[in-house]
Amino acid sequence: MPEKSGTVLEQKAAGVLVGSAVGDAIGGAVEGWTPEAIRERHGGWVTGIVGPWYDDWRTARPIAPYHKGDGHITDDTLMTHALVEVYDERRAHLDAYAVAESLVPKMLNGTRWIPELEADALLLQRVFLAEKWLVARLHYGHVDPREAGVGNIVNCGAAMYMAPVGVANAGDPEGAYAEALDVAGAHQSSYGREAAGVFAAAVAAAMIPGATPASAVESAIGLAKDGTRRAVEAVAEAADGITDWEQAIPLLRKAIEPYDTVGPDYRNLSMDARRPSRTKAIEELPVALGFVLVSEGDVRRAVLGGTNYGRDADSIASMAGAITGALSGRDGVPEDWATEIAEASKTDLEQPGRVMASVAVELRDADARRWARRNDVLETLTR
């Protein structure tokens, strides 16, 4: 059992980062599958940590020879923790140049424990093609970081690790949105970049004392643009009045379908999949926000909803876990899950939250000094 954090900020920051990791690890075991296939494989709904889909996971899918399940965190958490490390080193607000100068080198240099590979390896060796794009464009291509995301497949690859941006801007959804858009510009474009901003904003809003699932989602809708906004609105409407995640699964899928480009078969993408558009959205964030509402802010229910929804289950459950973790704090994250996942992944899930809480305080102080300087100038200019 981790030591109790001393402040509400520390509790909530820990809730975000541990809740995100828990959702990632549990959802990862069933990523890519339908709710029907999940129930058939596991003899019913998944209710916690389960083993890999394939016993021969090393060879069953050569494109992804990963040991998913058994409490192993995936690339979502690995990239999230890498971004926390960047914040820890820089102790400043981040932008696209921080991705090029600090995050990409972490992907390329120095090994770290990769639970799904059961080995120390480069972070680059675990991430998906859309994340390898960061290295190709920024390290090898020397593209302007602010424009490097253009041309990448449009997916949730940037959004999935934006929770730390929300913590860094705790209580300031607008600031989180703007910072995440800048950071994600190095990685994504169109609705993939937009989702990164909206997710960070939802986390920042959920960090506010007294925040509710509804207030966090309302903040997200208020900042979202184009198809992302309409998708979140549609999912929120579908979730209204529902508190059973099992009942919600088909309803949320139906609500997101008009905005989803992947299509009905997650492993057999439609011809229009993951292309830029002002009318479409990634599936993961709106559905995660739907489960935040359906769960009434409860981490366990939100994670189980996102997991059993299937498709990109690890990212959906991770985003839902982060936002509900912000709402409920570290005490709201099931301790049995957190302990087993930390042990199975050989990863400290608590330290990232402590780091981000301290970063948030330092950024608040720096922002206050900057605003004071501007205020002094404006006072002089308006006399």
Structural domains of the chain in order of their starting residue, each with its CATH number: 8-381 (1.10.4080.10)
Token readout for 109 is 């240099």
pLDDT at 1 over 70: no
Token pair listed for 328? 């409920």
Instruction: Give the pLDDT confidence of 290-310 residue by residue, as tens digits.
Output: 999 999 999 999 999 999 999
DSSP state of 258: G
Q: Is 75 annotated as a binding residue?
A: yes
Do 19 and 333 meet the contact criterion of CB atoms below 8 Å apart? Answer: yes
Beta carbons of 166 and 200 less than 8 angstroms apart: yes
Q: How far is CA 180 from CA 20, 102, 161, 279, 351, in A?
A: 17, 16, 10, 21, 22
CB 27 within 8 A of CB 341: no
CA-CA-CA-CA dihedral for 300, 130, 236, 245, to nearest 10:
-30
Res. 2 pLDDT band, cuts 50 70 90:
low
> What residues have CB less than 8 Å from 308, skipping those under 6 apart?
30, 35, 38, 39, 45, 46, 245, 246, 249
290, 236 contact by CB (below 8 A): yes
314 is in an annotated binding site: yes
Stretch 122-149: mean pLDDT, rounded? 97
* Residue 3 pLDDT greater than 90, yes or no: no
Q: Per-residue pLDDT tens for 173-214?
A: 999 999 999 999 999 999 999 999 999 999 999 999 999 999
Q: Is 80 annotated as a binding residue?
A: no
Q: Of all helices (H) and strands (E), which one includes residue 114? A: strand 112-114
Q: What share of residues in the chain are helix, strand, coil (percent, to 5)?
A: 65, 0, 35
Q: What's the average model confidence in pLDDT over 316-342?
A: 98
- 220-243: pLDDT as tens digits: 999 999 999 999 999 999 999 999
76 carries a ligand binding annotation: yes
Q: What is the pLDDT of residue 130?
A: 96
Q: What is the mean pLDDT of residues 146-167?
A: 98
Q: Is 120 helix (H, G, I), strand (E, B) or coil?
A: strand
DSSP bridge partners of 218 = none
Residue scoring higher pLDDT (86 or 2) = 86
Residue 6 has a pLDDT of 85
Annotation-wise, does 315 bind a ligand?
yes
Q: From CA 246, how far away is CA 309, in angstroms rounded?
A: 9
d(CA 232, CA 227) in angstroms, rounded, equals 9
* Residue 339 in marked binding region: no
Q: With bands split at pLDDT 50, 70 and 90, how would you rate the model's confidence at 134? A: very high
First CA to last CA distance, the chain: 58
Both tokens of 117, joined, read 């590979």
Phi and psi torsions of 84, nearest 5°: -60, -40
Average pLDDT, the chain: 97
Question: What does the pLDDT look like over 246-257, one tens digit per residue?
Answer: 999 999 999 999
Q: Report which of 171, 168, 163, 170 is spatially closest to residue 198, judged by C-alpha positions.
A: 163
Place of tokens 């409920």: 328
pLDDT band at 4 (very low <50, low <70, confident <90, very high): low
pTM: 0.97
